[in-house]
Structure formats: C-alpha cells, structure tokens
Structure 1
C-alpha cells in the first residue's frame, strides 16, 4: 500500500514509524529540518512542502496513493488536504481534527469536504480517559466487536491478591484469556505456569464482565460509586466530563478561568463545575479532593498536569490520570508517580493505523508504545485459522500470538484448546509487534 502522510508531528511520525517496514510511505512537512531528520531516521520518502497545495501533492504522487492521511496541527489545513487530494486522486482520505464540532458536522454529511474518515484527537483522548478510569489498576483499556470484547492492561502491585500466583491459579473467570505479561523490557506470552509478579503489567482479553471481575480481584474496590474529579476545562477536560456523564457519572470539574467555567457549566448538566485554582491546597482540602477515586489532570500543559497529579497523589487520591502532549514524557510521568498518562496523539495514531491493515482487520489497539498490538479481524475461508482448533491455529502462527476472544453470530466464544475457528468469526488476537507483518499476511 502507498501511504502519503501530510504533517510530521507526533501523530504523523508515529504512523510513519509503524508503517515503514510494510508499506511504501511518503511524509510531507513544511519544516525542512524535520524532513531532513526523517530522511535519516525512518525508511520513508520525506518531502518538504505545503500539503494544501496541489503542486506538493503531485510531487508526493498522490495520484498513485491508496491512502492519504492529513495530520497537521491545523484542522482546516487537514480538511483542505483531503479536498485537494480528491481532485487528483481516488485515494482514501483521513483527516485528523481536534474540534468535536467539526467532527459532528462531517458525521452529518459523511463524505463532505473530500474526507472519507475523520478522527477527533480530543474526543479519542477523552474516551480513553473514561475507559481507563472505569477499571482500577488499568494502564490501557479498549473494546472490540462493538463492545462485546474488552482488552485491558493491569499493573500488579505487591499487595494485589494475584501477585505471585500462576496464571492457572489466577484464571477463575468464565470468559477471560490471559494474553501476555510485560515485565520491564521483557514481554512474556502467558502460559498456565507463568507466575504473575509485583510490577508486572498483565494483558487480558475477554467479556466486559469477566475483565471487570478480574479488575476487582487485582484491586478490591472499597466503594460502589466512584467519584471523579477533572482538573481543567480544556477541550479534552470538557469532552471527558461529557463522556463521564454519558456513562452515568456525576463528575466534578475544577476550572480557574471564570468565563470558561461558566461556559462549560451551562453545557454539562450533571457535572459540578467549580471555579478555583487546583493548586490551592486549602480549596482542595475544603472540597475533600483527597476522597476522590480518580483525579484527571487535563490542563493545557504537560508540566501543569504533572504538578496537579503529584499534588493529588500527595493528598491521598487513589488514582491519577494525566493528559500529556509530549509522547516522550509518558514513561517519566508514570515513573514519578502518575498512575496513567494518556497521550492524545498516540490515541489518534492507533485509530488511523487500522486503515493500513489487511481489508478485514477491523480494529487495532497498540500496547506499550507499539511493542505489541491487539487486533480484531474477520476470519475468511482462506485464513490459516479457518476450520482449525485453537491449538492447531496457534501452532500455524508465529510465536508471540495469543487468540484472546471469538465472536460468532454476535455471541462471545471463549477460546479453549479444542475450540474450532470458523469462517465469518470475529477474532481478537494479541500479537507481538515483531511478528505482526507475518500474522497479518497469514490471517
């Protein structure tokens, strides 16, 4: 597949790095220094130019492109890129935007602006925050097969009841598959005798109920209703509050700017908006912020979000989730005490990358900064899995693959050794990134 990426920021770079080994990739950016750096760091064709101009698009040979991804930092420029592309090419176009209102306009008339698919960075980040906040100890959560299947990555504390158990001892759930364990720089495909250690990150795939049950065993809950506090009415903070409301929560939101606080209060009927400085310790004590189950730091600025998260942790908040714009800060944030760092650009790259997979791959979730992926696909009659038991199907695939769940006719099938995979099944698998291309080809 020939892929043209307009914009070499964090999103464009992440997509290019993911695709360079298996696709013909062209990256266009206006910054000559960025283009030069890409030329030496990635196996892509990097061009300097303005992607909104037809001359630049022709230089990138969009006439022969299968996919054009517009992911500059300007919503308007990305829409223009897609529209200009459609005048000279039949390529599938994807526009990355930050404003949800623009996404809603496009959804009302899909295909408008020459955009075949639109992805909203802030909305994706907000949805990720809500998914992660809903399960204790999770580092990542995603859903597959229309919500029938859930994937979650849990960090195991020394005090967790499952610490020092084998997978076989811990596996007492109706529909759950232990896929893998990340232990430092090591990735371990989970087997029955694999021991779960304190500090491990365990990836499980299964029904929403079984994943929730496992979460409750990893960190036994002491309250029935979680209290959520969002710090910052940035667009992500606002969207997160809306998402929490839609999931039945009644969050509190702290915003320093009086005009912005008034604006979001009028749009969030089930959110208590408080106008204050979130670093005011007297205010935090007066509002009993220390009793919150989750504090989400969604201010405009990584440093501010780090400060708020560390302050919340010091007050005794159970869990902190921080929005970070700089992907390189993710590990740093989690090292110094932030429980989960959510990177909007990484969420966006994950959503876009699925369009570059084989035609039947329907969803992709990246784990541990692209060290592994969980993918959903429909089994074709030609697939090496079709008609095979799980034991034989796994043997036909490279090492580093775990079949986590199967959906058949809308019903969840928990894969066990003698379960037969049938054409038409929707299968969710965990894949080591090192063997991803071989797996994609086989399925």
Structure 2
C-alpha cells in the first residue's frame, strides 16, 4: 500500500520502520530536514521536508494515489487538519493521533465529521493496558485475539510455581489442557518451546487460550485472579487521569500524587472519588505515610523515565507483593529495564504504533495477506499472528501433527466459529477458522507461509 506518515517523532519513526519492513511504499513528511534525512538514510522510504497540513506538500507526497495518511505530529490540531486535507485531496483512509482529553467527549463527532478511519490517544491506550494488568495482577502483559475471545498473557515463573523444573510434556494435564505455552524468555534468549523444553524459575512465559481457560489456568496455579483493591499513582498527567478513572469504575481505591497544585485541583474536580495529594511522589516519607508498604499496586507515570524506573525499584524493595506499572517513553531502554524485574512496563509510543500497524494490516488483508492481527513479543524477537484461513489452503483438514511446519512455528490457538480450541496434535483446521500462530520468523503474510515448501 501507499502510505504517507506526517511527523517523524518516536511514533512516526517506529511506524516507518515497521511498515517499510512489511513492504509498503512509505513517504514521510516532517518539517525538520535533519530528521527527514536521518529517516531516509535509515529506511527504504521517500522523505519530504515541509508542513503536512499544506495542500502542495501533500500533493508532492503523492496524496492523490495514497491508500492511507497517518498524522502523528505533536499537535492534535495539526494532525486533524492534515487528515481533513488528505481526505479532500486524496479521498484516502486517515488516522490521527489526538492526545488532549478536551476532545475525548467529542471524538466520535470529530471522527465522523472529518471522515477519520481511526483516532488514537497514546495516553488513553497506555492507561487501558495498565488497567487490564491491574484486573489480572499475576500477568505482566495481556493482549486479545479473536475479537476478545482469546488472550495472550505473559507471566513469570516463581520459585514455588507448579511449572518450575518441569518439561512441557510433563506438565499436569489439568494445566496443559487449559492453555498453550507458546514463548519462553530466559535472559536474552527467546524460545518457541517443544515438549522437551524444561521451564525454570525466572522464565517469562507467554500463554495463549480462551479467556475462560486462561483464568482457570491462573486459578489452578494458585495465582491471584481478582483485581487489586488499592493503587497509588505517581503522576497526575493524562495517563494517570485515564487510568484512575478506569480503576475507580472497577471499585478500586485510588490515590494520586502530583507536584502541580493547579493540576491537583483539576484532578480533584474530575475524579472526586480519588484521593489527590499535592506532593512529590518521589518523597519516600510521604509515600510511607500514605501506605505504600500496604498498597496492592503502584503505577509510576511521571514524564521522566528515570524517575519512574527508580520509583518502581524502590516500591519493589519495600513492598514485593505490589503489582507494579512503570511508564517508559524511550523504547531503546527495553533490554536494560527487562533485567530489573520491576513489573509491567508500559510504552505509550509503542502501543500507539502497534495499534496503527494492526489497522494497516487489516486494510491490507483484503489485498495481499490474510493477517487479522499481529503482536510483537519479547523486544520484537517473536510474533503472534492471527490468520483467517481461506478455502483451498493446504492446512485445512490435516491433523496438526502431520503438517510440515517450518522450524520456529507454533500453532497456539484455533477459533472455530467462536469456539476457542487449545490445539493438540490431532486438532484440525477448517475453512474460515482463525488461527493464532506464534513464531520467531518474520515476513509471514499468509497461513500457508507456515509450511515448508
């Protein structure tokens, strides 16, 4: 597809990297010439220096032939104006990044009136992910497939886990029939495990199954399956505001720390059920006074990555049982943070890029692939893809044990008309099923690509 990306910040560059890698024809538009030069040198894309809201610049970028225009500059208003001009000039699909909560109540009106295909709010998307994790505190990451019927959940194996030091083939049947363990991360290594793979304490595993089965799996493992009852949020910005609102709606007791007096007044009016404290959330005495050692969860959501990381490390030390959420903006911190064991890391920029990439894949599904959804796992070293199986595919009607799969491929889940199946070697894929495949390979576009030629 022909895609124009306006804005080459972290989100724009992440999108450019991913979509160009997937074979789309990308043109980037950015006002800073040095940034454009850097992007063009790094990826196989076209670059134009200029204002994306300019009709002439849009024409130079090829808007008349574009399939999609994505506006991810730092200005909501500029993004919306870019979409309006693109829609009028090229009649293509448009996506806008809109962050200001003022537009929250009006977003459906704006989307309809401007003909937007998608509106993404990074802070709200990050808060949604954090809220899901606080509803199931034993998980470090949760994603959904098959329109919410199947879940991909990450968790860490503890010293007293029933899975510790067991080969996958020897896992008790009551656990094995619930979910499939599809990926194992051990230190810097990532594995698609077979039946002989032995799990160790400290491994982070990715399980896939129906929503009911994943819940049963956690129960049988003796892990908490109920939401937390209390949380402390440090940072009353947009992410903190959206997260607090969701948690309050779940009946969770929320305390928010923020240094800005005016912002605290706003939050008190917007969230009357929350306890809003005007103070420095990095003040250890203040945290102790507000019960940090007893709280069930803690979210560090300031705008400083280092502050968030240090706060989570401190809380981990004095309250090891608390569920931790740490917001990080710099995506290149991933490998370092992963070794710190500070709970769930939320990357707003990555979440935004992932949602947009998923939309693009949905658009291209009718053209050159049958990918319904795709999630990057373990710092992009593995992928989970959902394929729609079309008639005539060689995978149809053959028991999975008899399929000649490429190395590094695991069929993790089958959705048969809404029935989520945890597959075994005897399971069979049927026409129109959706199938979740986990792989360390890249470039898969069709379910048939999982087979050796």
TM-score by length of 1: 0.90
Q: Tell me if 1:350 matches 2:354.
A: yes
CA deviation map 1:364-398 (0-9, x unaligned): 32212322222334322244433343334x53x53
Alignment RMSD (CA, Å): 2.6
Which 5+ residue runs of structure 1 have no aligned equivalent? none
Determine the structure 2 residue equivalent to 1:10. 10
Determine the structure 1 residue equivalent to 2:413. 405
Determine the structure 2 residue equivalent to 1:387. 397
Cα distance, 1:83 vs. partner?
0.9
Determine the structure 2 residue equivalent to 1:105. 106
Runs of 4+ in 1 over 6 A off after TM superposition: 440-443
Aligned length: 441
Determine the structure 2 residue equivalent to 1:279. 282
Determine the structure 2 residue equivalent to 1:203. 206
Determine the structure 2 residue equivalent to 1:93. 94
Greater displacement, 46-55 / 209-218: 209-218
* 1:225-304 aligned within 5 A: 225-304=228-307
Cα distance, 1:362 vs. partner?
3.3
Provide the rounded CA distance (Å) in 1 between the counterparts of 2:26 and 2:448: 18
Change (3 A) 1:364 1:435: closer
Cα distance, 1:441 vs. partner?
6.2
Change (3 A) 1:356 1:197: same
**Structure 2 residue corresponding to 1:364, chosen from 355, 374, 389:** 374
Change (3 A) 1:175 1:160: closer
Provide the rounded CA distance (Å) in 2 between the counterparts of 1:223 and 1:117: 33
Change (3 A) 1:44 1:157: farther
Q: Tell me if 1:414 matches 2:415.
A: no
TM-score by length of 2: 0.88
SS of equivalent to 2:333? helix
Cα distance, 1:137 vs. partner?
4.9
Provide the rounded CA distance (Å) in 2 between the counterparts of 1:25 and 1:434: 19
CA contact (8 A) 2:229 2:251 kept: no
CA contact (8 A) 1:150 1:206 kept: yes
Change (3 A) 1:104 1:381: farther
Determine the structure 1 residue equivalent to 2:179. 176
SS of equivalent to 1:94? strand
Determine the structure 2 residue equivalent to 1:309. 312
* 1:106-255 aligned within 5 A: 106-108=107-109, 110-170=111-171, 172-173=174-175, 174-215=177-218, 220-221=223-224, 225-255=228-258
Cα distance, 1:234 vs. partner?
0.7
Which 5+ residue runs of structure 2 have no aligned equivalent? none
Q: Tell me if 1:326 matches 2:330.
A: yes
CA contact (8 A) 1:161 1:217 kept: no
Provide the rounded CA distance (Å) in 2 between the counterparts of 1:183 and 1:333: 14
Q: Tell me if 1:427 matches 2:435.
A: yes
Provide the rounded CA distance (Å) in 2 between the counterparts of 1:421 and 1:246: 40
Cα distance, 1:270 vs. partner?
4.1
Provide the rounded CA distance (Å) in 2 between the counterparts of 1:191 and 1:121: 37
**Structure 2 residue corresponding to 1:375, chosen from 385, 389, 396:** 385
Change (3 A) 1:385 1:271: farther
